[in-house]
């Protein structure tokens, strides 16, 4: 899939789970030590985040990284 779509899907996963936990972006940013503006960019899918921050976010949300990153699409057998 396109890069931007990948970022958006990951960002949306984070936003959805964060809201399920009743946390604001600022709450989450304080817990995991990521700038709130950066968190906003990540959730908006405007950033190619690193596994380091993916890990920090997953720990702050008390979930596994794979629960955030489980956004692969089915119809990609011939992507490469």
Contact footprint for a second copy (CB under 8 A): 1, 3, 6-7, 10, 31-32, 48-52, 54-55, 58-60, 64-66, 69-72, 76, 79-80
Task: Note every long-range contact of 39-47, with CB atoms under 8 Å and residues 24 or more positions apart, other chains counting.
Answer: 42/7, 42/10, 42/11, 42/14, 43/11, 43/12, 43/14, 43/15, 43/18, 44/8, 44/11, 45/4, 45/5, 45/7, 45/8, 45/9, 45/10, 45/11, 45/12, 46/7, 46/11, 47/7, 47/11
> To the nearest whole angstrom, how small is the minimum distance from the Cβ of residue 75 to a second copy?
12
Binding site partner of 65, from DNA, a second copy, none, Cβ cut-off 5-8 A by kind: a second copy
> To the nearest whole angstrom, how small is the minimum distance from the Cβ of residue 77 to DNA?
23
Interface residues for DNA in 8-67 (CB under 7 A)?
Answer: 19, 24-26, 33-38, 40-44, 46-50, 52-53
């Amino acid at each position: 899939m396109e890069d931007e779509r990948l970022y958006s899907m990951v960002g949306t996963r984070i936003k959805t789970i964060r809201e399920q936990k009743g946390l604001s972006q600022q709450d989450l940013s304080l817990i995991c030590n990521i700038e709130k503006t950066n968190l906003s960019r990540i959730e908006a899918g405007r950033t190619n985040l690193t596994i380091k921050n993916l890990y920090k976010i997953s720990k702050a949300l008390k979930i596994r990284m794979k629960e955030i990153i489980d956004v692969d699409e089915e119809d990609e057998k011939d992507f490469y």
